[in-house]
Structure 1
Amino acid sequence: MLENGKISTRQFTLMLFSLLLSTIMFGLPRILIEQSKQDVWQVMLITLVLDALLAIIYFILGMRYPQQTMIQYSETILGPWLGKITGLLYVLFFGYMTLIILKTVSEFVDTVLLTDTPELVINFILLLVSLYAVNAGLEVVARLSEVIAPLMLIPLMIILTFSLNRVELGNLRPVFQHNVWELLKSSLQPISWYGICITMGIFMAYHNNPKESLKAKLIAIGGVTVLTIMTLMSLITIFGTSYSNQQIYPVFRLAQIIKVGDFFERIETLVIIFQIAGAFVGLVILYYSSVLGLAQIFKIQRYQTLTPYFGVIMLILSVFVFSNITEMNQFTESIFPYLAIFIEDFLIMMLLIVSLIRHGIKKT
């Protein structure tokens, strides 16, 4: 399996929790508020249900093909050629998400922290540190999630708590503005980002108790959904929908207006810690999934052989793929949801159907 490490249910949960929270807290609140306004909480609940159903499919396949990642059981189900193509599509998706997180966090750091530092330098440092963590193995990546998850959760809870005195409940009206079809359409954006947790199909093979993998996934997405709804409601009740959907980094803007007495005014520092720490663990998880998947496709004995090459490719692409954050946001809002749903939903449903046809309902 190219990896001898094992992860616990708690580590599995925190890996998925950190990965998902880190990806949706940068730009997704703005997009969701723009699309759904005060009904955004309904969209998030629909997203939770849809992603939970998707998790069940990944769980079923993981249990049918124990100790195989999604890359490996794609070949078992579809045969060597179609299986490799399917596995490569998953790897390309992981690589693309690695690039998106890299670009997003470097733009954030360049905007709010190191304004005179070239983006290429920031990307190089992030990739270099990530490479070191990925080379250390899955158990190190899992322990990293255990450390960073509180660094994400605690600052976010502080911000949400100390912003309560600025809440205007009247901003929550009107409610139920959208019909079911409009809500389902709006859920395309968050479900495509929630689908990043298809890394479940990688890590389930290394879970020391695979039967608890579904529970870990449901706890992770449930916790992130609650935090996301709380954050969205805070933004709407404090800023209103019109102002919130104009902010590139709405959570950072929320932290800027908070003051705790006369001794703690720069709470946005917590957001910087929260965003960068979360993005880093997300970057490491996707980096790891990409190189491990490539190694399994091409039967390379040590995935660490590929980590420097993958890092160089990501560094080059980070310069040429998107010229600025606006261009990247336009792509992720318009085209990305459809590509993501094809990779995250269609492929896995196809694998399940073919698996049932070829290997029967009760696989032996």
Structure 2
Amino acid sequence: MFWKHLNEQKRLAKISLWSYLFVGGFLIFFNILILTILDPSISSISSFPLLRAVRLIEIADFLERVDPLVILLIYVGLFVKMTAFYLGAALGLSSLWKNSRHGVVTLLTGGFIYLLTFTSPSYIFHIWIGFEYNLRFHFPVFQIWIPLLLAATIAAKGIFSKKGVSSR
């Protein structure tokens, strides 16, 4: 949704690759850090192992209990992520409905998201739905089948366009 709004389209692949590599390395580093601070048996049963690891921080008997700061950072990160998802959904829907105004689409999308927040009665139910249905239905379709179909389409398009060019 956002790539078409990039000013320098030539640098898109390079920026995307470096972004994926940085985020992947960052996540790997923090997971290794959590596993070294906590035992793997402890981190596997903890709902939020990062918070459990942060509670162990003590610097010169002065800096303790930094978990409220970490929780604040988590909420800011979630806010930015959800705002980007909301913007992407509004941009996607407004591009589907060509004659619609952006404000109306944004309000409808926001109202729909607001109503969806009441569908999960608890965090545990939300996680259960994610593991029960998301991993079984959503993940294979959107993470495996659609990308494979797109890659096959691109490959077939490339093969047929080369055959068409060489036969002329």
Same fold (TM over 0.5): yes
Of the structure 1 ranges 298-307 and 226-235, higher mean CA displacement relative to structure 2 is found in 298-307
* Cα deviation code 1:148-184 (max 9, x no counterpart): xxxxxxxxxxxxxxxxxxxxxxxxxxxxxxxxxxxxx
Q: Is structure 2 residue 133 aligned with structure 1 residue 335?
A: yes
1:37-56 equivalence runs, <5 A: none
Q: Which has the higher contact order (CA 8 A, sep 6+)?
A: 1
Code of the residue aligned with 1:244 in structure 2: it is: S
Cα distance, 1:330 vs. partner? 1.9
The residue number in structure 1 matching 2:69 is 270
Q: Displacement of 1:331 after TM fit?
A: 2.4
Per-residue CA shift, 1:170-205, capped at 9, x if unaligned?
xxxxxxxxxxxxxxxxxxxxxxxxxxxxxxxx1221
- Which amino acid is the alignment partner of residue 282 of structure 1? K
Which structure 2 residue ranges, 5 or more long, are not aligned? 163-168
Q: Could you say which residue in structure 1 is the equivalent of 2:166?
A: none
Q: Secondary structure at the match of 2:57?
A: coil
Aligned match of 2:122: 324
CA–CA distance in structure 2, aligned partners of residues 223 and 333 of structure 1:
27
Larger Rg: 2
Give, in whole Å, the separation in 2 of the partners of 1:218 and 1:326. Answer: 35
Moved more, 325-334 or 346-355: 346-355
Aligned runs of 1:197-208 on 2, under 5 Å? 202-208=1-7
* 2:33 aligned residue: 234
Residue aligning to 2:112: 313
**What is the alpha-carbon distance in structure 1 between the residues aligned to residue 10 and residue 161 of structure 2?**
18
- Separation of aligned partners in 2, 1:267 and 1:254: 10
Per the alignment, in what secondary structure is the counterpart of residue 319 of structure 1? coil
Task: Check if 1:300 corresponds to 2:93.
Answer: no
Please give the per-residue CA displacement for 1:271-310, whole angstroms capped at 9, x wherever unaligned.
Answer: 1222011101101110011111111112234323211222
Kindly report which structure 2 residues correspond to 1:216-295, keeping only aligned pairs within 5 A, or say none.
216-295=15-94
1:44-77 CA-to-partner distances (Å, cap 9, x unmatched) read xxxxxxxxxxxxxxxxxxxxxxxxxxxxxxxxxx
Give TM-score scaled by structure 2 length: 0.82
Calculate the aligned-residue CA RMSD, in Å: 2.2
Q: Which amino acid aligns with 1:291?
A: A
SS of residue in 2 equivalent to 1:335: helix
Calculate the TM-score normalised by the size of structure 1.
0.40
Deviations 1:102-146 (A, max 9, x none): xxxxxxxxxxxxxxxxxxxxxxxxxxxxxxxxxxxxxxxxxxxxx
Give the distance between the partners of 1:355 and 1:233, measured in 2 at CA.
37
Partners in 1 of 2:154 and 2:96 — Cα distance?
A: 19
Secondary structure at the counterpart of residue 269 of structure 1: helix
What amino acid is aligned across from residue 336 of structure 1 in structure 2?
N
Percent identity reads 22
Deviates more, 1:334-343 or 1:268-277: 334-343
